[in-house]
Amino acid sequence: MGKQLVASSKSSLGRRFESTVKVGEKVSALASRPAAEAPKKKRAIGGFRGGVVGFLLGVTTAGAFGFVYLIEEYQKATSLVLSSVDELEKSSLKVKEYVKKIESVEAQLQKIRENGATTQQLAQLKADWRKQSDVLTRDHLELKAHVWEIEQDVDSALGRPASKK
Helix (H) or strand (E) holding 5: strand 4-10
- Per residue of the chain (165 residues), give pLDDT as tens: 455 544 455 545 555 555 555 555 554 555 555 555 666 666 556 777 788 889 999 999 999 999 999 999 999 999 999 999 999 999 999 999 999 999 999 999 999 988 888 888 899 999 999 999 999 999 999 999 999 999 988 888 888 876 665
Angstrom CA distances, 90 to 9, 93, 97, stand at 88, 5, 11
**pLDDT of the residue at 115:** 87
pLDDT for 131 equals 96
Does pTM surpass 0.95?
Answer: no
Which residues, other chains included, contact 84 with Cβ-Cβ below 8 Å and sequence gap of 6+? none
